[in-house]
């Protein structure tokens, strides 16, 4: 038996016993495990360890992310039914019973080595599953420490430690792929290579699409508020999030004032020469390098040798672009506090530019809209984006990276894994949540038979065409 086979075998034993618990008993386990990272001292240690080991992001924002994402998830899970009868409909005669999926393989990225694993662990446990985490090599130390805290909490509530395990060091592709093949469900967040491996593992899988979020500032937007939201999102954790704005499309009537607002919020626009210097470091052979990923604007300015003295004190950097695609690398995802800016004539042109960007990279994820705070034009424009662009989410008048994964002031489920639908090569377009970790068994009862007539079903057709 290989080491991975051993992990899975132990997980199956633990899961079978865990499956016998009541809803209240399961909920106690979930609450205990949530405290493994919500407890401030443990959270601080994990945040510091994550930045030390990965070199990505910053400690203060890691702490906030660990706390806020877990707190929000626990709000979502608190009253969710995941044991026994969860729905009943007398009219249809259907009753639904929640069932676990078994052993979950959780593929997690280096960008969130604490927040993403705990999110998947809590969702899995809420649904009476066991889970084995396959962290990125850079994030392994953080994940291992997190699981030490989790196991302490499991001991406290007398739940088996083998419910939550991690692949042993060193983390290899072979071990990760073996885990995916042996598990009952794969939930994968991270590189597109891992997502493709999950989908071809032979195991049912949920994977996420690539990010490259673009937001629109139209002529009706509150420019100061829009700039504040964008900088809050763009600089959070040095833009490690796939939901961080990579570009902003601005309607011409407010372009100059919008740039001014972004500059007042801490942005610095680079000239053509500095843009070229940055491009030479950030991209190699048209592909994003890891050199500047999740670093501060100051670090980026120094590493790229930027001449603008303001760049070294900027919160984020801006570059102007007029096209999208392989010949315009700044139109792609940057995973750093670098924001691409396009000027367009009007809202129709803004939609067209976003569509062009997403045809290159980021299709399926989400789009942002900064417009009037409320009213028919806001509703109409948001509806146009939802109906016309290949996006699973339209985020209106919010800090994008804060809102897309769920927030206390919107209705999305808290998650660090966003499905991008078929546009992004995914089989779901929701925020990954606890319902994706469940099987549903349905009891089907007989009800009074009602057989419709052909005339009733095809009434509209028959009113326009002959019956021949």
- Entry pTM: 0.94
Cβ neighbours around 68 below 10 Å, total: 17
**Contact 106/207 with Cβ under 8 angstroms?**
no
Residue 82: partners with Cβ closer than 8 Å, 6 or more residues away: 23, 26, 98, 126, 127, 128, 434, 438
Q: Please state the length of the chain.
A: 468
The domains spanning 3-208+432-443 and 213-413 adopt the same CATH topology: no
The token duo for 416 is 């660090």
Alpha carbon distance 371, 218 (integer Å):
6
Residue with tokens 């020469």: 273
Given a contact cutoff of 8 angstroms between Cβ atoms, the answer to whether 367 and 404 are in contact is no
- Which numeric CATH code is attached to 213-413? 3.40.309.10
Task: Examine the residue annotation and report whether 420 is marked as an active-site residue of this protein.
Answer: no
- Up-side HSE of residue 323: CA atoms within 13 Å toward CB? 5
What's the CA gap between 110 and 191, in Å, rounded? 10
φ and ψ at 195, to 5 degrees? Answer: -65, -45
Per-residue DSSP letters for 417-468?
-B--TGGGT-S--SBP-GGGGEEEEEEE---------HHHHTHHHHHHS---
Taking a C-beta distance cutoff of 8 angstroms, is the pair 47, 115 a contact? no
**Cβ atoms within 10 Å of 458's Cβ, excluding its own:** 12
HSE toward the beta carbon, residue 330, CA cutoff 13 A:
24
CA torsion, ordered 377, 379, 382, 388, to nearest 10 deg: -90
Helix axes 115-126, 59-78, angle to 10 degrees: 10
Instruction: Tell me the residue ranges of DSSP E strands in 160-258.
Output: 164-166, 185-188, 205-207, 213-217, 245-251
Q: How far apart are CA 280 and CA 290, in angstroms?
A: 13
The pLDDT profile of the chain, 468 residues, written as one tens digit per residue, is: 899 999 999 999 999 999 999 999 999 999 999 999 999 999 999 999 999 999 999 999 999 999 999 999 999 999 999 999 999 999 999 999 999 999 999 999 999 999 999 999 999 999 999 999 999 999 999 999 999 999 999 999 999 999 999 999 999 999 999 999 999 999 999 888 889 999 999 999 999 988 999 999 999 999 999 999 999 999 999 999 999 999 999 999 999 999 999 999 999 999 999 999 999 999 998 899 999 999 999 999 999 999 999 999 999 999 999 999 999 999 999 999 999 999 999 999 999 999 999 999 999 999 999 999 888 999 999 999 999 999 999 999 999 999 999 999 999 999 999 999 999 999 999 999 999 999 999 999 999 999 999 999 999 999 999 887
Domain ranges of the chain: 3-208+432-443, 213-413
CATH code: domain 3-208+432-443 is: 3.40.605.10
Q: Which two tokens stand for residue 276?
A: 């070229």
Choose, from 143, 242, 251, 420, the residue flagged as catalytic. 242
Residue in this structure with the two tokens 């906030």, named with its chain if needed: 64
């Amino acid at each position: 038996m290989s080491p991975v086979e051993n992990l899975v075998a132990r997980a199956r034993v633990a899961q079978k016993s865990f499956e016998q618990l009541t809803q209240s008993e399961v909920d106690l386990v979930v609450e205990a495990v949530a405290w493994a990272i919500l407890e401030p001292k443990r959270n601080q240690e994990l945040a510091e360890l994550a930045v030390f080991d990965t070199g990505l992001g910053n400690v203060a924002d890691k702490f906030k992310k660990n706390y806020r994402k877990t707190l929000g998830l626990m709000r979502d899970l608190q009253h969710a039914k995941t044991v026994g009868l969860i729905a009943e409909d007398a009219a249809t005669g259907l009753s639904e019973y929640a069932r676990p999926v078994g052993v979950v393989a959780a593929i997690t990225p280096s960008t969130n080595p604490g927040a993403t694993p705990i999110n998947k662990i809590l969702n899995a446990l809420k649904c009476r599953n066991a889970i084995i985490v396959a962290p990125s090599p850079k994030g392994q130390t953080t994940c291992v420490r997190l699981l030490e805290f989790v196991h302490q909490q499991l001991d406290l509530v007398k739940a088996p430690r083998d419910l939550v395990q991690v692949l042993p060091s060193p983390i290899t592709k072979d071990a990760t792929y073996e885990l995916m093949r042996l598990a009952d469900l794969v939930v994968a967040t991270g590189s597109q290579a891992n997502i493709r491996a999950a989908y071809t593992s032979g195991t049912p899988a949920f994977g996420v699409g690539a990010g490259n979020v673009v937001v629109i500032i139209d002529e009706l937007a509150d420019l100061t508020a829009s700039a504040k939201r964008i900088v809050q999102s763009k600089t959070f954790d040095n833009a490690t999030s796939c939901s961080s704005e990579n570009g902003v499309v601005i309607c011409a009537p407010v372009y100059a004032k919008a740039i001014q607002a972004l500059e007042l919020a801490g942005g610095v626009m680079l000239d053509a020469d500095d843009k070229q210097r940055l491009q030479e470091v950030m991209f190699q052979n048209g592909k994003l390098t890891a050199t500047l990923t999740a670093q501060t604007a100051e670090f980026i300015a120094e590493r790229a040798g930027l001449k603008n003295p303001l760049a070294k004190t900027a919160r984020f950097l801006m570059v102007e672009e007029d096209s999208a695609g392989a010949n315009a690398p700044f139109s792609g995802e940057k995973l750093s506090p670098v924001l691409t800016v396009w000027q367009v004539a009007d809202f129709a042109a803004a939609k067209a530019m976003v569509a062009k960007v997403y045809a290159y990279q980021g299709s399926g994820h989400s789009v942002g809209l900064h417009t009037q705070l409320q009213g028919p034009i806001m509703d109409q424009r948001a509806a146009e984006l939802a109906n016309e662009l290949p996006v699973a989410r339209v985020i209106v008048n919010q800090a994008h990276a804060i809102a897309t994964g769920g927030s206390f002031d919107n209705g999305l489920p808290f998650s660090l894994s966003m499905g991008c639908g078929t546009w992004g090569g995914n089989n779901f377009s929701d925020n990954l949540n606890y319902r994706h970790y469940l099987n549903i068994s349905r009891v089907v009862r007989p009800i009074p038979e009602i057989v419709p007539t052909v005339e009733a079903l095809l009434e509209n057709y028959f009113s326009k065409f002959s019956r021949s």
